[in-house]
Structure 1
Amino acid sequence: ILAERVEFLTDTSFKNPVMKFSEETFRTFVISKSIPRNYSFVIMMTALMPQRQCQICRHADEEFRIVANSWRYSPMFSNKLFFGSVDFDECPRIFQQLGINTAPVFLFFSDKAKMKKPEAMDIQMLGFSAETIGRWISEKSDVQIRVIRPPSYSGSLALLILCSLIAALLYMRRNNLDFLYNRTSWALGSLSIVFAMTSGQMWNHIRGPPLMHRSPKGVSYVHGSSGGQLVIETYIIIILNGVIAFGMILMNEAVKGKGDPKKRKSKFVMHSNFLFYLIWLQNIFINQTILLFKETNFC
């Protein structure tokens, strides 16, 4: 019977590297106690139904399938490791049996008899990129997976379009290139890069978090753990930092401006009060975020 199961899983894996389980098939092939397994399983617990609006689940599913396809077409492929997924709306009892109340979750079911409970991947700490999942599987088993991503030409195309636009602009302004020496333009460009990096946009690009999080209590705009963030958080930080930088510029211009010293002094005081008010608002936002984090993790 075990040989028949392995043969069935191997044939199914050739057709679809990520097998979609029902409650019955999951209990039969993954957690069956009557017949021991001589193969390991990597299972993604997810919620891909449209009504769930789980954007992070869709992104995790894409990365998971990249790993599964890399293993399927690898010369090292064997019947010692298989990939599968379980959807919450189709198998709620499996989630309840495993004690899982969130998604996505990656579980490793080892073929070793001593491993009674599956091991979960810490996506808050490690993320869930295909390369990270592949390394995690290698740590849990003797399988080495070389992740091969499908070619994507969108980045190269965007870079080509950007270079073409810059070249066209320089050609049209070839007789007047004074704008290249404009300090204001370079300052705005530098500030844009600083705001993007300090707000966590690069983290968003790498991890692919959702815009916001829907929970039974409502919509959350701040992530509940220290190891993650939501996209809207970065937008809030960009706005706060941008407005504070704008206030600093106003203060500087008020001092450097020409005219009546009394008027310049009054402008400086007004802009200073405006800046202090913005900093006060930022401190309130940070304090509320810290309180939310403490409430989520320690209460």
Structure 2
Amino acid sequence: MFLLFLVIHFLNLFNSHLFDNRNYSLAIVFTALDPVYKCEPCKYFDKQMRSVAKSVMFEESNPLYFASLNFEEGKESFKKMGLNTAPVLFLYSIGQSEPIKYDLTEGVEAQNIIDFLNREGKYNLSYRPPINYGKIFAIMGSLLVSLVGFIIVMCSGYMWNQIRHAPYMARVGDRFSLIAPGFQNQCVMESQVITVALIGIVIVLLTSVVPKINAGTQNFVTSLLLGIWFLSYGYLTSLFAEKSGGYPYTIL
């Protein structure tokens, strides 16, 4: 069973139920999470505490609970404890009326908090970091993109060139041509020309358009992309016409 992380919303709950006749230990964070205070350390420490509470296991013989008291909902408690900064972590151990204050200079990471609890509360807790699903999805996405790229290469003109040992250029009569006539033949240069053209277009878009795009340039970017599409499609129709001499429809 995982430990409980309790967010205290009522002052009387803090003053009475949590500290009268306790048969458990309590690690409580005095914090200021409201956006008005802009306390970035509070947000980070709260994240680490929640990670600790979710990772360690409950002990029946010496139960430990985690709690958080926000400044907006416990100003009197902050005043009673003499606190004028946040975050502050206290450990209320079983059988002890006075809390043990955590020294933030020891570190604000989850493992630092675990070490403090084990040392002061006589626990034997171990920290298991949460699964980083973002990293897993990133790796899976990279593998998927690589797999799709591999499939495209295997189905592309490059693979045809490797299997058929296509010549780099074709000899047509007394001259050399980059494009072999007919659909049963192909030159290595044909696939390379298309590849280089596509790479060039992608580089131009990534370096010149994407970083600068905003609402005021949408029309320009749209026109540019349409122009690139028109030229690319025109080149493909011209290439098709050269491959098939009877094809009448070309743009360029």
CA shift, 1:54, in A, is: 1.1
Change (3 A) 1:54 1:137: same
Q: Secondary structure at the match of 1:38?
A: coil
CA shift, 1:30, in A, is: 2.8
Counterpart of 2:77 in structure 1 is: 94
* Contact 2:26–2:92 (Cα < 8 Å) also in 1: yes
Q: Out of 59, 64, 67, which is 1:81 matched to?
A: 64
Percent identity over the alignment is 29
TM-score, length-scaled by structure 1: 0.43
Change (3 A) 1:29 1:75: closer
Q: Secondary structure at the match of 1:89?
A: helix
Q: Out of 21, 46, 52, which is 2:31 matched to?
A: 46
Q: Does residue 118 of the first structure (1) align with residue 95 of the second (2)?
A: no
Change (3 A) 1:77 1:63: farther
Number of matched pairs: 145
* Contact 2:55–2:130 (Cα < 8 Å) also in 1: no
Counterpart of 1:103 in structure 2 is: 86
Counterpart of 2:132 in structure 1 is: 152
* Contact 1:45–1:86 (Cα < 8 Å) also in 2: yes
Counterpart of 1:20 in structure 2 is: 7
Q: Report the Cα distance in structure 2 between the residues aligned to 1:118 and 1:157, rounded to whole angstroms.
A: 42
CA shift, 1:155, in A, is: 4.9
Q: Secondary structure at the match of 1:59?
A: helix
* Contact 2:58–2:64 (Cα < 8 Å) also in 1: no
Change (3 A) 1:69 1:78: farther
Q: Does residue 131 of the first structure (1) align with residue 111 of the second (2)?
A: yes
Which aligned pairs between 1:181-260 and structure 2 lie closer than 5 A?
Answer: none
Q: Report the Cα distance in structure 1 between the residues aligned to 2:63 and 2:22, rounded to whole angstroms.
A: 10
Unaligned 5+ runs, structure 1: 1-12, 165-299
CA shift, 1:31, in A, is: 3.0
CA shift, 1:156, in A, is: 6.5
CA shift, 1:140, in A, is: 1.0
Q: Secondary structure at the match of 1:31?
A: coil
Q: Out of 66, 74, 95, which is 2:51 matched to?
A: 66
Q: Report the Cα distance in structure 1 between the residues aligned to 2:27 and 2:136, rounded to whole angstroms.
A: 33
CA shift, 1:142, in A, is: 2.4
Give CA-to-partner distance per residue, 1:108-128, whole Å, 9 cap, x none: 01112xx332111111x2111
Counterpart of 1:217 in structure 2 is: none
Counterpart of 1:202 in structure 2 is: none
Q: Report the Cα distance in structure 2 between the residues aligned to 1:160 and 1:42, rounded to whole angstroms.
A: 38
CA shift, 1:78, in A, is: 5.6
Unaligned 5+ runs, structure 2: 146-252
TM-score, length-scaled by structure 2: 0.50
CA shift, 1:76, in A, is: 4.0
Higher radius of gyration, 1 or 2: 2
Counterpart of 2:42 in structure 1 is: 57
Q: Report the Cα distance in structure 2 between the residues aligned to 1:75 and 1:48, rounded to whole angstroms.
A: 27
Q: Report the Cα distance in structure 2 between the residues aligned to 1:51 and 1:104, rounded to whole angstroms.
A: 15
Q: Report the Cα distance in structure 1 between the residues aligned to 2:140 and 2:23, rounded to whole angstroms.
A: 50
Letter aligned with residue 26 of structure 2: F
Q: Secondary structure at the match of 2:131?
A: coil
Give CA-to-partner distance per residue, 1:199-247, whole Å, 9 cap, x none: xxxxxxxxxxxxxxxxxxxxxxxxxxxxxxxxxxxxxxxxxxxxxxxxx
Letter aligned with residue 27 of structure 1: N
Letter aligned with residue 20 of structure 1: V
CA shift, 1:19, in A, is: 0.9
Give CA-to-partner distance per residue, 1:265-289, whole Å, 9 cap, x none: xxxxxxxxxxxxxxxxxxxxxxxxx
